Amino acid sequence: MILATFALALVLGLALLYLNKAFPAAATTWFLVLVAVFGGPAALGGSWLWVLLLWTLPVVVLGPTPLRRALITPQVFKLIAPILPRMSDTEKDALEAGTVWWDGELFSGDPDWKSLFAFKPKDLTAEEQAFLDGPVEELCGMLTDWEVNQAGDLSPEVWQFLKEHGFFGLIIPTRYGGKGFSAIGHSAVIARLSTRSTVLAVTVMVPNSLGPAELLLHYGTEEQKDHYLPRLADGSDLPAFALTEPTAGSDAASMRSNGVVCRGQWEGEEVLGIRLNWDKRYITLSAVATVLGLAFKLEDPDGLIGNRPHYGITCALIPTHLPGVIATQRHDPLGIPFFNGPTQGKDVFVPLDCIIGGQRNAGAGWRMLMDSLAAGRGISLPSLAAGGGQMATRAAGAYASVRKQFGLAIGRFEGIEEPLARIAGSTYYLDAMRRLTVGAIDAGEKPAVLTAICKRWMTESMRSIFNDGMDIVGGAGIVRGPRNIFAAGYTGAPISITVEGANILTRSMIVFGQGALRCHPFAQKEVQAAEAKDMVAFDRAFFGHVGFVFVNGARSALLSLTGGHLASAPVNGPTAYYVKQLTRLSASFAITSDVAMGTLGGELKRMEKLTGRLADVLAWLYIGSATLHRFLREGAPERDLAYMRWAAQTALYEAEQALDGVLRNLPVRPAAALLRVIVFPFGPRMSLPSDRLGAKVARGILFDGPAREHLSPDVYLPNPTEPGLGRLEAVLDKALAGLPISTRIRDAVADGKLDRKPVATLEERALAAGLISTEERDLLAEVRRESEDIVQVDAYEAEEFLNLRR
């Protein structure tokens, strides 16, 4: 009876908590009240003195604010403040950069799906579409990836075309001579170019990403904008941005490049300026740049511009023709010959107005970079990754349709179906992520955590896609040459993994490290209040956080016990199930995050395996969200149902596995045990997509499958005579034309109208029997010859081989 009464109290309290999610503090109070009223007498032998005590405690803790602040908050502050994480200035700048969007909903434990599904990303404008159909298509036809790689550079004609048609000014407003493209327009250009040439995509991508143009637009003075932006837009100036150093990669605070405020000569006059010394590496376009965006630490030991001797990281624009600027060398990034190399500066003097934004932005460089990266990181490399996935889907599907072994197209074998499904399913969610994220950017958001997720998880998915593609094409992917479709993407994938925040760092430190504080409704407020010793703000944040924990604990427990069925879904049909499961995992993620932060405090910051797994959960929740958003925004087509299911199922499985990994490794084992009861009362539920579902996904991109075209709309299709994808597409078209004829012959053999052997004369015997026409026989012979040719690989004479660029 005692246990039953107490259990009733818990159930009623948990239910009230879940239903009263709009008022977490009040809900928490009533939860404790119900336990006291119903469970107290039974558990404590009916002593109403204890009931009164249990009633009074929550009222004091969570009830009237002045009483709580006077009696409880000072003691809590003394206990909690020392264990809250301490942040460096660079970490604070990173946390304050950008905005919170759907990531905040996922951290809430109860995402507002209705708002997400109502969100409509911006479409391409007529001008953007015309640019894709015109100059972009023409540009892609001017080169091949193999030619560029062998030449070690784009041709002079291509460089001139890029400048004349404004490819370096995609993000620059039209009033400065740029294209003024939206984020989706910018992204679409990069995605298309990436299907043709990595070098071409990177060369266009970098000037339109984090660099001088982006920084000038947001922080430059009017004089700087008027001077530089028109020149950057028409290619008169080529930009590069220099941040990374031999001793300062991820740890920007250890930067050694410095500038000292002093007087010096500039254009024949003595002016107040900066004498700069730097040593940078991995700088894209450094050897061809005419203007260098430079990050350095600014010092003012003589107090010439203020009373601060150390201003910190500052960004300035440095003309590269100045004495002391050295940028003649090139790196060789895995044989992909885009311009990338070191740059040094030796006592380079520039006036103070070279600081982006002028003297008022001295020391503001890191914040400027983080704020710009909050949006830009979600466009450039994610677009390249999405384009790479589309190209791999189209090429792998075509190759697996044309290539035969044991008398069958290899795509019919289950061993090939498996990687084909991963390629096609991953490509579906990659483009879903791209379009949703750039849509948010176009809507005015700078979702720093979500763009970091896109950069890391999309480039990793691209790497996995190319690994699978290489497995499917086998030797045809290994032998380099103009016929090879996969080698450049496979070789270049690690470059995307490394830049704009190395993927290991992004996963283990940035996504959850920023997300836990920035996206959480109370955590950052607690840290800020503790640092400021603001007792009122701390009281409000801490006890709001307490209520938030109880609410999400109750929600997670109820949803986990019922398999997510109690979660609401604003949609019907096949997506409703996935909405409910993502809500369940969002609630579980929220309570797990809070328990991890609460039990480990500042130590969690250094436990990167745990934060990495928590980042995995958040990332896969976003991937699942983007998948559902795409499917519904496109009208829930039957054609895409298998792809939506595959991507959503994969996201749920990966999120749940990561969450399970957190619980297995959380150091405070009693807390982990309690969490497991709440989050996984019956163990993890999700599994990877079934073999049957994978088969549907794979078959949709074989032959004339309905999804092959739909999944690769941004792929540039070369001339049908061009080795590689062009010839492969042409052969597939002929194979499709011959497929009904082959089927007719196969049916005749099955019906006993033709003998199966000898195979070499089967078509002639079918012609003699009147089953096919002469034209049909000739078409089958042509398909056979060209199918045999398309699977050939490149070979070279000895002298030609020695002259190949490696």
Looking up tokens 């890391």 gives 456
Question: Is the distance from CB of 753 to CB of 768 less than 8 angstroms?
Answer: no
Rounded CA-CA distance 341/62 in Å is: 59
In this structure, which amino acid lies at residue 378?
Answer: G
Alpha-carbon gap, residue 49 to 28, rounded angstroms: 22
Taking the CB of residue 787, how many other CB atoms lie within 10 A of it?
A: 19
Q: Which of 317, 311, 308 is nearest to 298 (CA)?
A: 311
What distance, in Å, lies between the first and last C-alpha atoms of the chain?
Answer: 79
769 token code pair:
């029997």
> Which member of 128, 299, 445, 500 is catalytic?
500
Per the CB < 8 A criterion, the answer to whether 140 and 201 are in contact is: no
Residue 466 in contact with residue 490, Cβ under 8 Å?
Answer: yes
- Maximum Cα interatomic distance, the chain, rounded to a whole number of Å: 104
Distance CA 207, CA 118 (A): 34
- 475: which residues sit within 8 A by CB, 6+ positions away? 793
CA distances (Å), origin 548, targets 25, 153, 170, 594, 645: 8, 56, 44, 9, 32
Contact between residue 186 and residue 170 where contact means Cβ atoms under 8 Å apart: yes
3-state secondary structure of 622: helix
Q: Is 500 a catalytic residue?
A: yes
In degrees, to the nearest 5, what angle opens at C-alpha 226 toward C-alphas 222 and 228? Answer: 115
Neighbour count for residue 54 (Cβ, 10 Å): 18
Q: Is 143 left (phi over 0), alpha (psi -120 to 50) or beta?
A: beta
Helix (H, G, I), strand (E, B) or coil at 267: coil
Structure token pair of residue 739: 């497929």
- Measure the CA–CA gap between 510 and 456, rounded to whole angstroms: 10
Contacts of 370 (CB under 8 A, 6+ apart): 93, 94, 96, 97, 98, 448
- Give the distance, in angstroms, between the CA of residue 23 and the centroid of all CA atoms in the same chain: 34
Alpha-carbon span 334 to 560, nearest angstrom: 47
333: left (phi over 0), alpha (psi -120 to 50) or beta: beta
Q: 3-state DSSP call for residue 346? A: strand
> Measured between alpha carbons, how far is 714 from 734 in angstroms, rounded to an integer?
23
Determine the residue type at 309: P
Structure tokens at 799: 């002298």
Residues noted as catalytic: 500
